[in-house]
Amino acid sequence: MSSIDQARKTIKALNSTYKIVHVTELATLGKLSTLREKAEAAVSYYETILKSLRWVRKTMHPGNNNVKEEKKITAIAITSERGLCGAYNSEVFAEIDQLIATLGDQVTINWVVVGEQGHRYLTRLGQNITAYLQFSLENIDLETTTAVTADFVDQINSEEIDALYVIFTKYFNAVHSEAMCEKIYPEIPEESDNLPIEVDYVLDFETEEEQVEQLLLENYLCGLLYSMFRYSVASEYCMRRIAMKQAKDNIQKQLEEAIFNARKRTLQQKTGELLDIISGAQTIRKEEE
């Protein structure tokens, strides 16, 4: 195969790859708004539940500042099933390393993993993986999240969990997301001192206060986890879109270079052929003389 044929083949391959990458970028961008809307709806839900949970806890445990020693730690790591999403997984891995270092060697963390990438990473680290949740975050629904939350609540009630952490990636906008680690149990976010105290969320109930607190906690954790799942998959698409944009720009540069080289080789070939013709004509003329 001549160098020109090889150059044309390279240009054709780059054009095909460019189209695939461009379509992938557009597909991920189109899903971001829907995923963010679902995550924000979940935030509104669990924040409403949180107000009532705060009130019930203050009513049942006024002035309770006892801090329980945390020995049984469970952590949820939310990663992606596949690659091609830039630094998405590596940033989550950095949070995993930070949590392990913070808790120290004296504490064994029971890991619950979402995503093949996280499962591989924690396996390489030799961490204790108690559950590998193999479901699609993009298609996750409240029913699945409720089942996952119910398992955690059962372990909390049976005192198998003293503290629950979640490592996920918070989506902010189409160009910004951030991996973070949050402790979601036993602490719950406190009300800001700068905000006025509202009482419109006070509950009127006939069941036992412990049962009400249990129900509110389960619904709060469910909404919180659902929002984290949704934010994580939105962040994955965000990082994949950025990676595809960078790949597209890189392919564009390679394509421009390939086209330039192909034209250069074509020109060199035509120049060589022209020189051969001129040289042949000069030789014939000399022979005639």
Structure confidence at residue 58 (pLDDT): 77
Please tell me whether the overall predicted TM-score, pTM, comes out greater than 0.85 for this model. no
Percentage, residues of the chain above pLDDT 70: 85
236, amino acid identity: E
What rounded mean pLDDT belongs to the chain?
81
pLDDT tens per residue, range 140-199? 888 999 999 999 999 999 989 999 999 999 888 877 889 999 999 988 887 654 444 454
Domain spans of the chain, in order of start: 3-19+244-288, 29-191+203-240
Percentage, residues of the chain above pLDDT 90: 30
Residues 83 and 101: their CA atoms lie apart, in Å, by: 26
Partnered with residue 183 across adjacent β-strands are: 165
Q: Which residue has the tokens 């979640």?
A: 166
pLDDT tens per residue, range 188-231? 887 654 444 454 444 555 556 678 888 888 999 999 999 999 98
Structure confidence at residue 267 (pLDDT): 81
The architecture that CATH gives domain 29-191+203-240 is 3-Layer(aba) Sandwich (3.40)
193, amino acid identity: D
Identify which has the larger pLDDT, 21 or 71.
Answer: 71
| 168 to 80, 165, 218, 224, 277: CA distances (angstroms) | 10, 10, 20, 12, 69
Residues 284 and 271: their CA atoms lie apart, in Å, by: 20
Structure confidence at residue 193 (pLDDT): 47
